[in-house]
Homo-oligomer: A and B are copies of this chain.
């Protein structure tokens, strides 16, 4: 894409949203509902919504994004008065912040691909180096953890249920519920695949390609004009 095209895209909607990371938009999104919120409230809220499909922010990340958004004029903050037992700083979205957020949420730029980092599958990929029984146990631990998370998703869905204005977050949470159910099915299918390689506890450890055979992932992969590297 040329810089002219980029500029045209950014101009498409009252100047276009500035270049901010999605985490900044996510925090601003939390503030797009009426009312002021403390950083702690935003953190709790993220833990029962954003966490299931995007981001489980540390409280320090929430504050870092709030500072960035305040500098941009997208949020304002105020300290609570002496009538409260403890002083709190509350944040609210500004009109400029709401405009920018809408520009991002409804913009024309492409939605990036999903990023998935699955350490369990990485371990299975290197399963030739692992004890089969231990590998099975890792997968079962993942199943148990996913079941606990599914319960959390369903609790959040229960709280959102019947709130008419909460329609889109409900769609996102239903996606998360199905995603967790799929994750459980995937893990169980992987357990069955691993069991076919030999029962847990069997002497299944061996180094692959002992005869020096090239990994099939590489075979046929390299173009003839492999550039110099290193």
- A interface, CB within 8 angstroms of B: 22, 25-26, 29, 32-35, 37-41, 44-45, 48-50, 53-55, 59, 63, 77, 79, 86-90, 101-102, 105-106, 108, 110-131, 134, 138, 141-142, 145, 156, 159-161, 163, 165-169, 171-172, 174-176, 178-179, 182-183, 185-186, 189-190, 193-194, 197, 206-210, 212-222, 226-230
Contacts and interface: CB of A to CB of B under 8 A. Distances in A.
Contacts of A39: 229-230
B77 A230 contact: yes
Given A33-B208, A39-B230, A131-B106, A165 B124 contact: no
A105 B79 contact: no
Given A171-B197, A208-B165, A230-B77, A119 B130 contact: no
A29 B125 contact: yes
Nearest to A163: B216
A26 B117 CA distance: 12
Nearest to A159: B216
A63 B197 CA distance: 34
Contacts of A213: 34, 163, 165
